[in-house]
Chain A
Amino acid sequence: MKKTIGLFLAGALTLAMTACSGATPAATTSGAAGTGKKALTDIVVGFAQVGAESGWRTANTKDIQDSFKTAGIQLKFSDAQQKQENQIKAIRSYIQQQVDYIAFSPVVQTGWDAVLGEAKAAGIPVLLTDRAVDSKDTSLYVTFLGSDFVLEGKKAGEWLVEQYKDKTDPVSIVQLEGTTGSAPAIDRATGFADAIKAESKFKVVASQTGDFTRAGGKQVMEAMLKSQKSIDVVYAHNDDMGLGAIEAIEAAGKVPGKDIKIITVDAVKDGMTALSEGKINFIVECSPLLGKQMIEIVTKLNNGETVPARIVTEETTFTQEQAKAALPDRKY
């Protein structure tokens, strides 16, 4: 019995201590904010980028760098070359340099608790951009700025519903999924399914993964064109798979955009070009241009204001006409 009480007390004590250590950095943060705002030009932000693996990512980097330059905020930039250890090193060096804010796009979802804990202990607020971390402790970061993949899927589905609103014939849809198990693939499928489920005429007759690549999209589409009796619509989780599907459709003697309608997500340059040429019918944007919103977040935090824990990127959609108009000014 005594032992039990002893254990209980020890547990309570540990809890109290954890609570204490949890409270201290929080106090520091608010203290820092309370000491008054810095001039924007005195702020230093450390940004740990994933790498430069795609056109999307390069546009993301360029936009962030340009936006900070325009706003006059000093930006320290590092490229992790798709490696978590590089990113952790970069974040540690930002902590040592005592930057005011740290922003980063996590390479992978897990394994950040230790280094983010260090940032928290040093009283440096952390912004997640584009990708989230999987941690139970949400106090490790201030906000997550990025796309809502479910919403993207939903926008794609809503456009389709609108296009076919006057028709009653069944609509056969094939879906080219992203990498199996990845967040965008799961969420874009969910959002799309939600948007079309109200009407029974929409049928997803086949759904396969094309791994977000052109080659994957092409090969899956080739097989589907032969195994499915009729295909009215292709919904691809990114532009690249849609571009692959276009080649397969053309090889089968059909006209992409007319015989088979194509909807994709991303709006990268090659996709937008195909959209303006009428080969794709609709693209839901997944914007890499996060710079402007990052500046807003930093400014707000600097003024001592609070920001929501989740901020969705400002994104639009493109029809063929809009693509023609937007293409000349497209940054990526």
Chain B
Amino acid sequence: MSGFFTRALSNRLFWPVVMLVALLVVNAVAVPGFFSITINADGHLFGSLIDILRNGAPTLIIAVGMTLVIATRGIDLSVGAICAIAGAVACSIILDSPDPGGLWTVTVAVATALALSLVLGLWNGFLVAVLGIQPIIATLVLMTAGRGIAMLITEGQILTVESAPFKFLGSGFIVGIPVAVIIGAVLFSLAALLTRRTALGLLIESVGINPEASRQAGVRARGLLFTVYGFCALAAGIAGLILTANQTAADANNTGLFIELDAILAVVIGGTSLNGGRYSLVGTLVGALVIQTLVTTVYTVGIPPIATMVFKAAVVTAVCLLQSPTTNAAFARWRDKLAAGRRVPAEAVAK
């Protein structure tokens, strides 16, 4: 038992998971039926946990892309703006078409939005990999310019679309499970399989740890950087479409606002270092869930809006403190002391 505890404590996901469980417990105490999941009249799963998964899906999707970017010692600040652009493009195409509710129209709109997102990601990759601009600056360009582009596409309006297939992306259900959750799960599994079942993950980490050594070892860093920035932007595009479909309107100002910060936070809570190298997709999943549960907690427990920011900051600070190397070292010393304390009497008895 104590061995299990020691091993759990030394796992870098221990504290984020503890925090997630703690938040869920707080919710369950505040709202007795918090864990209940029912099947409603339409055959959909219904409950607070489902809401957390569904509303957390866009953040998770972006955070998966962000994890890979961060693993290369990069960062992508433009994901929020790409969300807005993807939503704006899709909505304007649907609105301009003669058949806004048609499956074909929506397919074209979604494909165009995703293709554009990919192009924007490759642009980021070009700035970082070819021109050698620092990632934070390179993606800052699109972060600021991107919302302007989205505003141009929507002509400054909030574009409301009445299109059943499009709405399905954000608030639809497949066999009772929200579509957003399914998309998130598929993307997560895909990223995990591609990077962990092949050498891709290792190569990404090597670029993050030492780009020069990787290059001399024959790793094509340039192509890898293009790939991760492209993938991250594509993920942002998918998340943007889910967000837009969820509110059935493209809002260039607000869609995906500050989502880059949530995504980065999810990655960091998950134990991936901003210095690049070793990354954990499972950690990112836990991080994204912690963030969304935190948001839901604010609403269910009824924390006053003026105190919300402070509450969130306190929780995030607690997670970061618990995870910091210094705190972990202190825990390790404490653990050793405990172990030593237990061993000594045992030896004494043997004598």
Contacts and interface: CB of A to CB of B under 8 A. Distances in A.
Interface of A: 51-55, 57-58, 177, 180-181, 206-209, 211, 213-215, 218-220, 222-224, 226-227, 240, 244, 247, 251-253, 270
Given A52-B156, A177-B305, A215 B300 contact: no
A136 B67 CA distance: 50
Contacts of A222: 51, 55
B262 interface: no
B205 interface: no
Contact of A218 (B41, B44, B246): B246
Nearest to A244: B247
A247 B171 contact: yes
Nearest to A214: B247
A52 B251 contact: no
A220 B46 CA distance: 16
B302 A253 contact: no
B214 interface: no
Contacts of A206: 302
Nearest to A227: B300
Given A52-B151, A52-B156, A57-B156, 5 more contacts: A53-B253, A55-B158, A207-B304, A227-B301, A251-B171
A215 B247 contact: yes
Given A54-B158, A215-B247, A226-B31, A208 B305 contact: yes
B255 A215 contact: yes
B243 interface: yes
Contacts of B255: 215
Interface of B: 30-31, 33-34, 40-42, 44, 46-48, 51, 55, 151, 155-158, 160, 171, 243, 246-249, 251, 253-255, 295-296, 298-302, 304-306, 308
A170 to B, nearest CB: 18
A308 to B, nearest CB: 32
> Interface majority SS on A: helix, strand, loop or mixed?
helix
A52 B160 contact: no
A295 to B, nearest CB: 25
A227 B158 contact: no
**What are the 9 tightest A-B residue pairs by CB atom distance, in nearest-first order?**
A52-B156, A223-B299, A214-B247, A209-B305, A227-B300, A180-B305, A227-B31, A213-B254, A215-B247
Contacts of A57: 156
A215 B51 contact: no
A58 B159 CA distance: 13
B143 to A, nearest CB: 16
B41 A53 contact: no
B31 A218 contact: no
A252 B255 CA distance: 24
Nearest to B58: A215
Contacts of A55: 157-158
B254 A215 contact: yes
Given A52-B155, A55-B158, A211 B41 contact: no
B179 to A, nearest CB: 13
Nearest to B51: A222
B251 A214 contact: yes
A270 B299 contact: no
Nearest to A79: B156
B34 A51 contact: no
Contact of A240 (B158, B296, B301): B158
Contact of A219 (B248, B295, B301, B308): B295
A74 to B, nearest CB: 25
A214 B257 CA distance: 13
Nearest to B178: A251
A252 B247 contact: no
Contacts of A209: 305, 308
B258 to A, nearest CB: 10
A53 B246 CA distance: 21
